[in-house]
Chains A and B, each alone.
Chain A
Amino acid sequence: MGTKIGYTFIQSNRAWLPKALVLWIMGMAFISMSIYRGMDEENKIRRKEVLGSMCDQRARMLQDQFNVTVNHVHALTILVSTFHYFKNPSALDQDTFAEYTTRTAFERPLLSGVAYAPRVVDAQREQFERQHGMTITTMKSEPSPIRDEYAPVMFYQEPMSHVKSLDMMSGEEDRENILRARATGKAVLTRPFRLLGSHHLGVVLTFPVYKSKLPPRSTVEERIKATAGYIGGPFDVESLVENLLGQLAGNQAILVNVYDMTNASDPLIIYHQKASTPWTALTTAFFLFVIGLLVGYILYGAAIHIVKVEDDFHKMQELKVRAEAADVAKSQFLATVSHEIRTPMNGILGMLALLLDTDLSSTQRDYAQTAQICGKALIALINEVLDRAKIEARKLELEAVLFNLRAILDDVLSLFSEKSRNKGIELAVFVSDKVPEFVLGDPGRFRQIITNLVGNSVKFTERGHIFVKVHLAERTMVKTDAKDETLLNGGTEEGVCRSGTGQFNTLSGLEAADGRNSWDKFKHLIDAEGFQSNASIINMMASNGGSEDVTLMVCVEDTGIGIPLSAQERVFMPFMQADSSTSRHYGGTGIGLSISKCLVELMRGQISFVSRPQVGSTFSFTAVFGKCKEYVFEDIKQSKSEDLPPGFKGLKAVVVDEKPVRAAVTQYHLNRLGIMVKMSSSIKDASSTAKNGLTSSEDKFQPDIILVEKDCWISGEDSGFNAQLLDWKPNGHVFKLPKLILLATNISKDECDKAKAGGFADTVIMKPLRASMIAACLQQVLSTENKRQAGRGVPNGSSFHQGLLRGKKILVVDDNGVNRMVAAGALKKFGATVECAASAKAALDKLQSPHCFDACFMDIQMPEMDGFEATRRIRQMESKANEQMMNGGSSVDGTAKRDELHLPILAMTADVIHATFDECLKCGMDGYVSKPFEEENLYRELAKFFKSKPLSAFIKMRQGPGAFELVILGLKLIERFSWNQSLSLPQEPHSWVRVPLLGLD
């Protein structure tokens, strides 16, 4: 879910959730109910079918049994007629009948019993009663009233004893039955009625018994006449049905009701059994409902949870925004406060400086000095905090200008040379030859990183060396093999310790933390370089030409106290030092490394370190810089690498040093001056080399200078170096004796005297070595009178400055008259013609195109219209004019005017903070100078601007690498021919490109 959408479906319908739950539950209840119904229905249908078939079966059975029963009753009538009437006397009496019928009861499964009632007419009643000793009674057990005939029960099966002597004719149903039976001569059934004795419903079956055999087709009268009696028995319907249907319903959930539908309007219930409940359907439905309920509840819970999570998410988001705002506010606060602190701090420092100039007692002076040192430290800290804040606010942007890496390293070294000399530490820098002289990047920030690292090293190192090494990163990648890895962070030491004396092949002979910097590796580096630079420069150029960037690896190695293992992971965290005692002992805030890390990351590199406590630390970082094309070099070389006088080219020197790393460093600096260097490990070797050079043919190496390391000299002193020198001197061929120079980190007065006495009358060069310093010393020693160089080498006199702005017309805009005057004065000093404007409005009037100003200095804070606004308007005017030029074809004069109008505008501001600078750039200014003007400061800014302007301008607008090169080429050509030779270039850029191509050869 994106932050834009904000609320999801669930979230926006949160109020409906409980209702949805209830609805769901109701739905589930309904569904389970209908499922129950459906199952029940199905069950019923199935049961109905089963029941139907069962009923059929039972009906057939019943039919069969009924038939059997009727047949047997028929047989009984035959029996009675045979043994009672045809025999005389009768062979049948009550006991026999009872016995027989009881024993044959199984033949009549449906009858509960049988009885025989003879036909007695009224005339024979008395005789019958007398004969049988009984009185004919009615159904209500009263003596029967006189009727035409009677049918008293004579024989009966045992369970029917209650019907004995009852007149069957007295019951309505029985009488009808008897009459019908006798008329038809067949079995006849009554309709159901309450049976006598039991109150069950029943049907009575009646069969007539005839006295004589009847013919098959006898009439009704014949049958009535022949009737002797009747045999009857009741069917107890209820028990019969129970018998039949009992097992039928036994295991099924059936409600059984049996009706007698004879009378359709009033169904008579004859049987009733309760149905069992349908458990399966019920449980199924119930479980379904429960499951539905649970699912509903789970969904509801999930939805509630989602809502809650989303709420939390939104809350968090809000908090995050607030936290970020707070962070920004913090950074801004830091920046503002730091800036605000700086202003008064400057006052304090200035006052302290003034105070120190006055007459003070030594204590007071001490106090004041301490205060000043503290103040300076505070300013440094504030600057660091400001940097840090800016990095955090992501406001730090790196410049991309061409700069000389080696010069910067030399600068940094010179910063620390005093300190290192005091401590007796050897401080050295080495830059591999493969590193381009000029790279495109941010020199200030690069210097800051190096300064930080070297500063740390100096701070934490009491003896040994600090060695800064720069080379191409790709190279070391290859060189780093597995063996090195084991050495990192406290591995075995055997790899490093090579010589028997326990000396290490590092710069100072002390062990370094990172074995990769030992001579082994270093030699590889130099060898490879030497080989490559000789053999395959062209190859290299071709292969490197493709990539725009160059990755540099910078190592700063020291032999200081190292970083405790426990603290190593915290090193790059801001305000963290190895431990709190460190800060007490060595000072510092620990912010430097974290800033360095940020800066390195901004330079698309990585920083890492290897450190062993009590051995030292090696910080190394990579940084990606833009590469500068060959053609550009020369242009810049002229403008920027003035500081190294070229007068030493072709000189030859011998460096006497037993430590190869140190010798390599010396060689590097000498090489930069164009001096060819040979190395030798002892004075003896050196002198023999020199002698060979003198005695044999010219192509041998003949040194002009011999540089001797102090250690070597001291150790070689005993072996009679002086004598050798003396040996050397009388040699007749010598036009020029090699100059002897002693290299020393620190040298005592005694040693100095001794050295002078020992032949080093020429000079002593104090380390750390810097090319410019060596140059100065050599100049002094060789007294190569090169006035021109001396003049150019040290840009100090104002005569040098004069030319910078000669012929340039500059507009100064400031509302403050004094400022205006001072600025004008300063600019005039550089040879410029200055015009002034007292307000932004006046400046705009003067700058209406076409104008003839080459640059404009603009105050920022002015009443009415400030400098930013004025600049914006000027830029607008220019772009309008540019458009017109584009539209209106080639300009009328078409000469030296550039295609694009762009007046360089430099801000003048008292603000030193970078934010103002950013603001300046944003509104179209090109740079700024801080007020009040300081000559050097102003010169630096101006030089940056006016000397390398064409280059930087084009570098800014570079689009493709090819076009860029060609433009540069073109510029060079144009410069060479110079415009007054009427070299006319076509206007279209395409053909414009072709011109320099022609000039390539």
Chain B
Amino acid sequence: MDVVSQLQKQFIDFSSSLYREGYVDDQFSQLHKLQDESSPDFVVEVASLFFDDAEKLINSMARALEQPCVDFKQVDSHVHQLKGSSSSIGALRVKNVCIAFRSFCDAQNREGCMRCLQQVSHEYTMLKSKLQTLFRMEQQILAAGGSVPLE
């Protein structure tokens, strides 16, 4: 039991640090509320969908920005997609970068876009690793026979 409670404590610390550092926001907790017996892996499913989605989008953004003549509309629609899904999942930082990204797209500022692209992919990888850690911890707790604490 000691292990479980320790794991649980770790988990709470970690997840609250995620909130605190702005990786995720309230929406993420809303997501957790949607998870129940009928769909026990809801959050993980959504998150992995988000990761796949985001990866694809970032790649296509990068491709689009490498073109000699950049189709900013195309980029903007990708960013919009990413913004939509990140706000749905509650990925606050990614979303904020996306907002800035879109304004650069509007201004057709290639430099800014490139910078934002880097930031987005950076934030994305950070988030991915953090969330994966979080999920791993969840798994550990469950494996140890405990229940995942709700924050």
Contacts and interface: CB of A to CB of B under 8 A. Distances in A.
Interface in B29-53: 30-31, 33-36, 38-39, 42, 45-46, 49-50, 53
Interface stretch (A385-393, A707-715, A820-828): A820-828
Nearest 4 CB-CB pairings of A with B: A818-B85, A825-B34, A816-B84, A822-B88
18 contacts: A354-B19, A354-B21, A357-B20, A816-B53, A816-B81, A816-B85, A817-B85, A818-B50, A818-B85, A819-B85, A821-B46, A821-B49, A825-B34, A861-B80, A863-B77, A931-B87, A932-B27, A933-B30
B25 interface: yes
Nearest to B56: A817
A815 B81 contact: yes
B128 to A, nearest CB: 14
B96 interface: yes
Contacts of A934: 26-27, 30
Contacts of A358: 20
A818 B53 contact: yes
A882 B50 CA distance: 41
Contact of B30 (A351, A815, A863, A935): A935
Contact of A910 (B30, B35, B42, B87): B87
Contacts of B87: 910, 931-932
Contacts of A817: 49, 53, 85
A932 B30 contact: yes
B22 interface: yes
Contacts of B26: 934
A354 B35 CA distance: 25
Contacts of B36: 829
A350 interface: yes
B7 interface: no
A344 B42 CA distance: 31
A509 B110 CA distance: 70
B88 A816 contact: yes
A478 to B, nearest CB: 53
Contact of B25 (A350, A798, A823): A350
A821 B44 CA distance: 12
Contacts of B92: 350
A347 interface: yes
A798 B38 CA distance: 14
Contact of A818 (B21, B34, B84): B84
B89 A822 contact: yes
Contacts of A104: none
A868 B45 CA distance: 30
A829 to B, nearest CB: 5
Nearest to A818: B85
A343 interface: yes
B81 A825 contact: no
Contact of B99 (A347, A798, A829): A347
Interface of A: 343-344, 347, 350-351, 354, 357-358, 798, 815-819, 821-823, 825-826, 828-829, 861, 863, 910, 931-935
Nearest to A934: B30
Contacts of A829: 33-34, 36
Interface of B: 19-22, 25-27, 30-31, 33-36, 38-39, 42, 45-46, 49-50, 53, 77, 80-81, 84-90, 92, 96, 99
Given A354-B19, A817-B49, A821-B88, 10 more contacts: A815-B81, A817-B85, A818-B85, A818-B89, A821-B46, A826-B30, A829-B34, A931-B87, A932-B30, A935-B30
Contact of B84 (A826, A828, A910): A910
Given A798-B33, A932-B30, A933-B30, A818 B49 contact: yes
A845 to B, nearest CB: 22
A818 B19 contact: no
A826 B31 CA distance: 8
B20 A931 contact: no
Given A818-B89, A825-B34, A932-B30, A357 B84 contact: no
B105 to A, nearest CB: 14
Determine chain A's interface SS by DSSP, over half rule: helix
B46 A818 contact: yes
Contact of B19 (A344, A357, A828, A932): A357
A934 B30 CA distance: 7
A816 B87 CA distance: 11
Contact of B34 (A351, A822, A863): A822
B99 A819 contact: no
A556 B15 CA distance: 48
Give the interface centre of B19, B21, B50 by most chain A CB atoms within 10 Å. Answer: B50
Contacts of B22: 351, 354
B34 A826 contact: yes
Contacts of B33: 798, 829, 935
Nearest to B46: A821
Contacts of B19: 354, 357
Contact of B88 (A350, A354, A798, A818): A818
Contacts of B45: 821
A828 B36 CA distance: 10
Nearest to B90: A932
A825 B46 contact: yes
Nearest to A823: B88
Contacts of A357: 19-20
Nearest to A821: B46
Nearest to A815: B81
Contacts of B20: 354, 357-358
Contacts of A828: 34, 38-39
Contacts of B46: 818, 821-822, 825
Contacts of B81: 815-816
A340 B138 CA distance: 39
A819 B30 contact: no
Contacts of A822: 31, 34, 46, 88-89
Contacts of A823: 88
A344 B21 CA distance: 18
A43 B88 CA distance: 111
B16 to A, nearest CB: 8
A621 to B, nearest CB: 38
Contacts of A815: 81
A205 to B, nearest CB: 132
B25 A343 contact: no
Contacts of A347: 96, 99
A933 B42 CA distance: 15
Nearest to B27: A932
Given A343-B99, A350-B92, A358-B20, A825 B39 contact: yes
A823 B84 CA distance: 12
A949 B90 CA distance: 32
Contacts of A935: 30, 33-34
B142 to A, nearest CB: 20
Contacts of B85: 816-819
Contacts of B39: 825, 828
Contacts of A344: 99
Contacts of A826: 30, 34
A660 B50 CA distance: 63
A861 B34 CA distance: 25
A93 B131 CA distance: 178
Give the interface centre of A344, A357, A817, A932 by most chain B CB atoms within 10 Å. Answer: A932
A690 to B, nearest CB: 49
A673 B9 CA distance: 46
B85 to A, nearest CB: 3
A817 B36 CA distance: 21
A819 B25 CA distance: 16
A488 B35 CA distance: 62
Nearest to B86: A818
Contacts of B96: 347
A242 B74 CA distance: 123
A928 to B, nearest CB: 16
Nearest to B80: A861
Contacts of B31: 822, 825
A932 B42 CA distance: 16
A925 B116 CA distance: 36
